[in-house]
Structure 1
Amino acid sequence: MTEHKPTSPLSMPLWQYWRGLSGWNFYFLAKFALLWTGYLNFHALENLVFAAYLLFPLPNPRLHRLRHWVGLPIGFALFWHDTWLPGLDSMMSQGSQVAGFSWDYILDLTTRFINWQMVGAAFVLLVAWLFISQWVRVTVLVVAALIWLNVLTVSGPVIALTPGGNTAPAAVTTAITSGDTNTPQVGDIPAQTAPASSQNLTAWLNSFYASEAKRQTQFPASLPMDAQPFELLVINICSLAWSDMEATGLTSHPLWSHFDILFKEFNSATSYSGPAAIRLLRASCGQSSHKNLYSPAGNQCYLFDNLAALGFSQHLMLDHDGVFGDFLKEIRQYGGVQSPLMNQNGLPTNLLSFDNSPIYDDTAVLQRWLSEEGRDPNTRSATFFNLLPLHDGNHFPGISKTADYKVRAQKLFDQLDNFLTELEKSGRKVMVVVAPEHGGALKGDKMQVSGLRDIPSPSITHVPVGVKFIGMKAPHQGSPIEISQPSSYLAISELVARSVDGKNFVADQVDWNALTSNLPQTAPVSENANAVVIQYQGKPWVRLGGGDWVPYPQ
């Protein structure tokens, strides 16, 4: 009689050790749900590889358990990679600034990431998975879905995966004819006639920067003998976009009807303060990439240097200390502003910043500018004034909670409106330019929670820019002249160049059409260190960390 020996696990066929995804099924189901609703930048191949790692049959039970433990940090990292949250490079670059935040502000930011509706939906999904898995092999469905998503990625066509028509994140191709009415075909903007593939979008961005590198404002070599002296005041406001005003109901505030010229489609090109201020101070040349902002530019690019060559003295004002993020250091080094900071001694504190540093009352700062000792209103001057009261996390002294944005914006708008009125009574000739740095991300979207600005989304970079001429002999009458073409900083520089002789202040009649027509147009391209957002054929696209372009989730 033959003796039957027990079969060794190593001698059994490998296919008998398929164990399924077990609890990882819920991990992938949660991702599918987030992808469906547009909250993920899902990487199909990486997720399929991770599932294969979890499924590969291992005869040894200890190795199988160890695989799950090793999979935990891998799964967390992959989940983070699939979200729109800042990547490691971005967090490293911003780490020193985050370290300067107050603990109250850090706690406030943390709580914004908790979406209780999503928490509830995840609980329902968990219960549904536990219930259905009693009868259905969920692993088969999950693997099939992962393979299907990879097939979509390879095949190329855009297939709507969400109720809103969002597409599967991939290097997609959309056939759009060159006759598309949304395609910019103006001379200042490179044509957008190629299909919207990742390769074509990158090529268009490169052509945009190549085109912008050739553009600059032509200032006169000297002023005519009959030129009239005036003052230029550039007010650079942090955290103010059209979307923020719409969210707070302040689009109809009297301030915005006080201007002579109002840019309705102005793109700030970034969502951070330092780069925005540098771009404004380098307004006399075309838009550069984010990287090139931190390299020297030609003297012809610096707006205040062009004015200095024509006899304008330079002045610098802040309603904060300029320490956070090395703001003051950056605008000196890369923005070309070398004038001393206006004296801040004795200014009353209006707010405390997110790092608990003082923010001075803007009316007091402007009053000091008006009455600055030794200032002769009959000389030419150019002043750069950066304001911080609307930044996220600002709070009133003695109160740790972030102050209501609408309350702060209402006060600032009232202060600026009153200042313009007072300036009109002073008899001084002043060209006032109000140009916000970027928006405050007050509402947030599917890519970023409220207050997060790592990605320069259209709602953050679409800012209101107003221009007012004070002390004109023939002031503009009626509603502001609206500039509805896509514009950016070069248009501001052009307006200043057209006005630099000051003759409009003493003219019996001003040709406003000649002043505002044919201003430089600039395509909406916005960039931070690790993210680029463009408008291509009427739709926003985003690229993170140099990867593929994907449609910006709406």
Structure 2
Amino acid sequence: MGAWSLYFLAKAGLYHAGSIGFGWIGNLLFAAALAWPLRWPWARRARRWLAWPVALGLLYHDSFLPGPERLLAGLGGFSAEYLWELAARAVNPWVALALVAGVAAYGLLARWVPFTVVAFLGILSVPAVAELGAGPAAASAVHSAAAPADPQARLQAFYQDESRRKLHLPAGGTPAFDLVVLHVCSLAWDDLDVVGERNHPLFARFDLLFSDFNSAASYSGPAVLRLLYGACGQVRHGQLYRGAPRECQLFPVLEQAGFKTGALLNHDGEFDDFSKLLEYRGGLRGKVQVSRGAPVHMRSFDGSPIYDDLAALSAWWRQRQGQGGQPAALYYNTVSLHDGNRVSGSDTRSSLASYKPRLHKLLNDFDRFIGQLESSGRPVVLVMVPEHGASLRGDKMQFAGMREIPGPRVTLVPAAVKLIGLPGRQGGGPLVVDRPTSYFDLNSLLADLVADSPYGARARPLSARLGSVGTTPFVSENEDVVVVRNAAGGYRMKAGQGAWASYAF
């Protein structure tokens, strides 16, 4: 096997460090094919050439990188500058140093140490450690009699419970307020901690703050569908793109309750067919607009324009005030914080370095927009709910900006509600909901506000309405990976058809 022994030893080491997965059967077969003695020189030459694509493909399969279709779709739209930035992030200097040290050790010791045998032992250590119940794959070998301790049983029970949840809004009435939903790409609690903005003044202006809200997705497409299908309980990722019954689609349900619905984007909506997703899957057909009249504030990772948030929202509000009549329900989507954005006139070329000033501007823009709503004197319920986080720091399994694993650093987001124009509101900061919640819980509160207006003379206070806010256990999912939180507060993950493993980030 020669120097190929280092390939298997390095992968086994990364697996035991929790940085990659490891399909030990596939790796064992590949190692056996490399070690098998071949008589003919042409066969040995062919094996040397064929080994490289097999090795790279196997490494890609064992990693937590996005699936090939998603990766190729993304690479086709990314600018060369953004691709270079991603490549630089993917290089871990400590891993590179360890590889150099490994190569040096191999060169010094290959004459005396049977590295082929050591490599096979490294491969077999993966199932051995799992069988002993001490390693990242240990969950596959532990089958508890109690269903709550089994992540697969826990997941099945979760989806059964969620399938029975359905929102009920009064139909055919005239709501007492307008509704604005700010859907923010790339903002999690962990990102706020990284840049030191968890206590930004905007959050103190909200009336209700969800500290353990799970967006349940790590990419924009699934995230928007989970929000827009939030009139029913959480479904599996595979069900999202099959559509949802109309009674599960939030904005058609709001329309039946008396709102005039619409959508506004601060981007062109072309990447990943985002606008079409809103129209044909999200119940907003013919109602999606792009803020082309607002100034271009920055350029996206694919070079497309991103429009100024405050200008876009202000223009919509001026138009709304001129219309009067039927209450409006607006879905607003902003990608101002998305990875790879380039700010005009900025000194930095790194989108990670520009995240904090971009975040500061966005939060200040929302703050000023709230001020505009308040000065109008009109009753408005404003909801801010991020799609997912930016993964600014990454974790042991994925580099900064990568969101293939929908763990808590990516999907625990600062959702918040503000009742604008509420008479006699007392200060003192927002009420905090610290139990596990997600979209259905938030929408249950909205349903309560629609059914029993908070703006009436004898309306119940917001604190009395928190009983309508339920709880949703933490389950986050994308196409390839699902992450659940156990009763002890730890996390388990499962990639594809692989085994459940501990997720330590």
- Shared fold, TM over 0.5: yes
5+ residue gaps, structure 2, are none
Letter in 2 for 1:72: W
Equivalent residue for 2:43, pick from 28, 44, 63: 63
Hey, which bits of structure 1, 4+ residues long, moved more than 6 A?
none
What is the CA–CA distance in structure 1 between the aligned matches of 2:134 and 2:477, rounded to whole Å? 28
Alpha-carbon contact 1:238-1:386 (below 8 Å) kept = yes
1:121 aligns with 2:98: yes
Equivalent residue for 1:318, pick from 262, 265, 271: 265
Please show how residues 10-89 of structure 1 align to structure 2 within 5 Å: 21-86=1-66
What is the CA–CA distance in structure 2 between the aligned matches of 1:80 and 1:31, rounded to whole Å? 11
Alpha-carbon contact 1:261-1:483 (below 8 Å) kept = yes
The structural deviation recorded for 1:228 is 5.8
Q: CA RMSD in A?
A: 2.2
Please show how residues 467-478 of structure 1 align to structure 2 within 5 Å: 467-478=417-428
- The verdict on how the C-alpha distance between 1:491 and 1:138 changes in structure 2, with shifts beyond 3 A counting, is same
The structural deviation recorded for 1:539 is 2.2
Q: 1:317 aligns to what SS in structure 2?
A: strand
Letter in 1 for 2:251: F
The structural deviation recorded for 1:38 is 1.9
What is the CA–CA distance in structure 2 between the aligned matches of 1:46 and 1:342, rounded to whole Å? 49
The structural deviation recorded for 1:203 is 3.4
What is the CA–CA distance in structure 2 between the aligned matches of 1:316 and 1:232, rounded to whole Å? 12
What is the CA–CA distance in structure 2 between the aligned matches of 1:495 and 1:211, rounded to whole Å? 19
What is the CA–CA distance in structure 2 between the aligned matches of 1:255 and 1:467, rounded to whole Å? 12
Percent of paired sites with the same residue:
37
Alpha-carbon contact 1:474-1:505 (below 8 Å) kept = no
Q: Which residue of 2 aligns with 1:515?
A: 465
What is the CA–CA distance in structure 2 between the aligned matches of 1:268 and 1:345, rounded to whole Å? 28
Q: Which residue of 2 aligns with 1:432?
A: 382
Please show how residues 261-340 of structure 1 align to structure 2 within 5 Å: 261-340=208-287
More divergent stretch after superposition (286-295 vs 229-238)? 286-295
1:548 aligns with 2:496: no
Letter in 2 for 1:46: G
Q: Which residue of 2 aligns with 1:493?
A: 443
Equivalent residue for 1:142, pick from 119, 138, 141: 119
Alpha-carbon contact 1:316-1:342 (below 8 Å) kept = yes
Q: Which residue of 1 aligns with 2:140?
A: 171
Q: How many aligned positions are there?
A: 501
What is the CA–CA distance in structure 1 between the aligned matches of 2:111 and 2:449, rounded to whole Å? 76
Q: Which residue of 2 aligns with 1:18?
A: none
- The verdict on how the C-alpha distance between 1:341 and 1:35 changes in structure 2, with shifts beyond 3 A counting, is closer
- The verdict on how the C-alpha distance between 1:434 and 1:374 changes in structure 2, with shifts beyond 3 A counting, is closer
The structural deviation recorded for 1:120 is 1.6
Alpha-carbon contact 1:542-1:550 (below 8 Å) kept = yes
What is the CA–CA distance in structure 1 between the aligned matches of 2:350 and 2:92, rounded to whole Å? 19
CA displacement 1:178-198 (0-9 Å, x = unmatched):
6xxxxxxxxxxxxx524x3xx
- The verdict on how the C-alpha distance between 1:378 and 1:427 changes in structure 2, with shifts beyond 3 A counting, is farther
What is the CA–CA distance in structure 2 between the aligned matches of 1:447 and 1:26, rounded to whole Å? 21
The structural deviation recorded for 1:273 is 1.0
Q: Which residue of 2 aligns with 1:9?
A: none
CA displacement 1:372-397 (0-9 Å, x = unmatched):
06644563111111111000011123
5+ residue gaps, structure 1, are 1-20, 161-166, 179-191
- The verdict on how the C-alpha distance between 1:344 and 1:83 changes in structure 2, with shifts beyond 3 A counting, is closer
Letter in 1 for 2:73: S
More divergent stretch after superposition (329-338 vs 475-484)? 475-484
Greater C-alpha Rg? 1
CA displacement 1:451-508 (0-9 Å, x = unmatched):
1222222211111100000001132431211111111100121111100046311335
More divergent stretch after superposition (30-39 vs 462-471)? 30-39
What is the CA–CA distance in structure 2 between the aligned matches of 1:490 and 1:150, rounded to whole Å? 40
TM-score by length of 1: 0.85
More divergent stretch after superposition (380-389 vs 31-40)? 31-40
TM-score by length of 2: 0.93
The structural deviation recorded for 1:169 is 6.2
CA displacement 1:206-230 (0-9 Å, x = unmatched):
332222111111212454xxx7621
Please show how residues 253-268 of structure 1 align to structure 2 within 5 Å: 253-268=200-215
Q: Which residue of 2 aligns with 1:455?
A: 405
Q: 2:501 aligns to what SS in structure 1?
A: strand
